[in-house]
Amino acid sequence: MANEVNTTMATEAELASRLRLAVMRLGRRLRRQAGGDLTPSQMSALSSVERTGPLTLGELSAVEGVRPPTLTKVVAALEEQGLVARHTDPSDRRVARVEVTAAGSSLLARSRSRTDAYLARHVASLAPEDRQALARAVALVEALLEQDE
C-alpha cells in the first residue's frame, strides 16, 4: 500500500512537471508565432488593459503581478509605440488611467489570429480521437486554473 501511494505521488509529481514544461514550451512557441517586437511583459500588459478596460497603473500592476516601477516602464514603452494612451480620470483629476488604442487592439487581434492559426494547423494534423483527448485536456487545464480564482 505504501509503495502504491509513493508511486501515485511520484506519478502526480512527474505529470505536474511534464505539464509545466509543456505549457512553458507552448507559450514560447506561441510568442514566436505572435510576431511583433513586444516583450512578453508588454504583450501581457497590453492584453490586460484591453481585457479589463481603462486601469490605473496601480490596478494594472496588481493584475499583472509586477511591481509598479517595472510596470511604469512597460506602459511607457507601450505608450511610446502608440498602443496605449493615458487619460485623466474624469472623477479624480489626480488619477490617470491607461487604455488600449485602436493600434493596440489591432496588434492584439493580428497576434491572436497568427497564434490561433498556428495551433489550428497543428490540431488539424491530429487524429480525431487525439483531438477529442486534447479537448478534454484543455477543459481539465481550464478547471485547474479556475481552482485559484
Say whether domain 35-147 belongs to CATH 1.10.10.10.
yes
Average pLDDT over residues 117-141: 96
Confidence tier at 94 by pLDDT (50, 70, 90): confident
pTM (2 d.p.): 0.80
CA angle, residues 126, 118, 81, in degrees to nearest 5: 165
- Confidence band, pLDDT 50/70/90 cuts, at residue 4: low
For residue 1, pLDDT over 80 is answered with no
Cα 104 from Cα 111, distance rounded (Å): 11
Give tens-digit pLDDT for 54-73.
999 999 999 999 999 999 99
